[in-house]
Amino acid sequence: MNTNRKNISWWAVIAIACALVAGAWLGYATAPKAPTPKTTTSSPAAALRGASKIDLTLSLVDRVYVDSVDRNAIVEALMPRLMEQLDPHSTYIPASEMQQVNEPLEGEFDGIGVVFNMATDTVVVLNIIAGGPSYKAGVLPGDRIVTIDGDTVAGRKIEQNKIVNRLRGKRGSKVTIGIERQNVEGLVDVTITRDKIPVKSIDAAFMIRPEVGYVRLTSFARTTHTEFVEAVEGLKKQGMKSLIFDLRGNSGGYLDQAILMTNEFLPKGKLMVYTEDRLGGQQKEYSTGGGRLTELPLVVLIDEYSASSSEIVAGALQDNDRGTIVGRRSFGKGLVQSQIPFTDGSAIRLTVAKYYTPTGRSIQKPFVRGEGGYNEDIINRYESGQFFSADSIHFADSLRFTTPGGKTVYGGGGIMPDVFVPLDTLDMTPYYYAVTGFNILYRYTLDYADKHRRQINNIRTLEQLEAFLAADTNLLEDFVAYADEKGIKPNREEIAKSRVLIESLLRAYIARNTELQDNGYFSQIWPADPTLLKAFEILEEQGK
């Protein structure tokens, strides 16, 4: 078989896809047995006369190749190459990876319910999921997991994903961990019965300022809309009168969840998105008027890692002149995938349509079918200055569109925000790079949490967190001394320049060790976040 991917014809690709869906390639339907050949050179081909080159080649390998081979292994190796001939977002998912790929979108997995870190080659439990298996078994924040089912895992430089695999398992199965705990001599063995663990797509939802709510969404999973409704209802009860909706780093997910989310912000009868298939068939989605936030002042944050469903939401709101989009140009994924399963547990995610924003924009960035370079686009943007200046981003006039309110928007590669905020690296001095690059800042916060474990574990509200952190007026100087002990000599000029950034990170990482987790983190990091600060400005200018 010719391995030059440019020589694979489009018709061969179609034939492969058809064969896959039928199950023939994976061995679930076998070809009729050919009659005993009179010669070994003509009969196999005759038996499959009219078949595609791929089918014929596989049949020849099965029947006359000099050695026996594993047909499934050949198919598994070929499938990723096949999908590469289509587009950058059509992919093959082997059965062995299916669970890992689907978990973030399905909203749950089976495990023990802990958040941990391995910054010092030891599994440090940062937080326990309330009501989860570890919570019920008595595991505490700050515990160090030294053994798993009798095997030592501390100090052995084991990869984090391997630790995860050891802790996860079938619902109802048990795992015994040996933990090292402060003020307790020797290891404490704890047996945990694994159970369902929810995967949240909302990282944070809290009142970031009086009357200003903040919601950070990291993916569009099956439970996203339900989570969002619960979050905003809670914020409204706390007096929310405007919202900052953070979609930065959101890689997307289910299209239906993006539509449900968009519907929350728009009045009745507004086009939110439409998709178009290969035959030109369109599916249009309009708002129902039943949204909970149709009048609420709104700022949406995006960046170069906001993709797919997050771009649908941002594009729909922008095209309907709803709210203000702030940040940097989004990723540029305007293709819709459908997941098609096979009976062995594997699947393909096949692009079946393109989506368009209400003004008719396709925001899919350019790519060349079957060629690489697509994933280097983000690097190219950085190197060409597009992260630092809006003037570095150029759109063709043919890609210009106008919203009903008269605003100019562009297609052809991501959502360009209404207000551009450059990537800010001015505070990132050599001292900052040293203390973060060598993980000294994060290790300090772990040690800090251990020293204040009783107070840390008793923090339940943002007000309690704020009071706890405000009481430590020597946090930065204590950290500088710690870094000095670890070999990073203080540079007072650079420390002064990076002060806000370093202090915000220290407070944020300490906060993440509390029960508040990411709510605590994001409640402390915003003073060093120019995009969030710009959002505050916009809301203030609007008088909200």
Q: pLDDT per position in the chain (544 positions), as tens?
A: 444 433 434 434 334 344 433 333 333 333 334 344 444 445 555 555 667 888 888 888 988 999 989 988 999 999 999 999 999 999 999 999 988 888 778 777 889 999 888 867 789 898 888 788 998 998 988 899 999 999 999 888 888 888 988 998 999 999 999 999 888 888 999 999 999 888 889 999 999 999 999 999 999 999 999 999 999 999 999 999 999 999 999 999 999 999 999 999 999 999 999 999 999 999 999 999 999 999 999 999 999 999 999 999 999 999 999 999 999 999 999 999 999 999 999 999 999 999 999 999 998 998 877 666 787 888 889 899 999 998 888 888 888 999 999 999 998 889 999 999 999 888 999 999 999 999 899 999 999 999 999 999 999 999 999 999 999 999 999 999 999 999 999 999 999 999 999 999 999 999 999 999 999 999 999 999 999 999 999 999 987 5
Compute the distance between CA of residue 267 and CA of residue 287 in angstroms, rounded to an integer.
7
What is the model's pLDDT at position 295?
94
Question: Torsion over CA of 264, 297, 323 and 421, rounded to 10 degrees?
Answer: -130
Instruction: Render 426-449 in DSSP notation, one character per residue.
Output: TT--HHHHHHHHTTHHHHHHHHHH
Crossing angle between the packed helical segments 224-237 and 255-263, to the nearest 10 degrees: 30
What is the model's pLDDT at position 161?
84
* CB-based contact 481:166 (threshold 8 Å): no
Question: CA angle, 202 as apex, 463 and 204 as ends, to 5°?
Answer: 20
Compute the distance between CA of residue 436 and CA of residue 442 in angstroms, rounded to an integer.
7
HSE toward the beta carbon, residue 103, CA cutoff 13 A: 13
Structure tokens at 170: 């079938």
Crossing angle between the packed helical segments 499-512 and 475-485, to the nearest 10 degrees: 90
Indicate the SS3 state at residue 123: strand
Note the CATH number of domain 108-198: 2.30.42.10
Which H or E run contains 191? Answer: strand 188-193
Compute the distance between CA of residue 386 and CA of residue 380 in angstroms, rounded to an integer.
9
Question: Torsion over CA of 261, 262, 266 and 271, rounded to 10 degrees?
Answer: -140
Q: Where in the chain is the domain with CATH 2.30.42.10?
A: 108-198
Query: Which fold, 202-420?
Result: 2-enoyl-CoA Hydratase; Chain A, domain 1 (3.90.226)
Helices (H) and strands (E) in the chain, counts: 20, 21
Compute the distance between CA of residue 110 and CA of residue 392 in angstroms, rounded to an integer.
46
Question: CA angle, 55 as apex, 61 and 347 as ends, to 5°?
Answer: 105
Q: Where in the chain is the domain with CATH 3.90.226.10?
A: 202-420
Q: Which of 326, 347, 306 is nearest to 418 (CA)?
A: 326
Catalytic residue ranges:
308, 319, 333
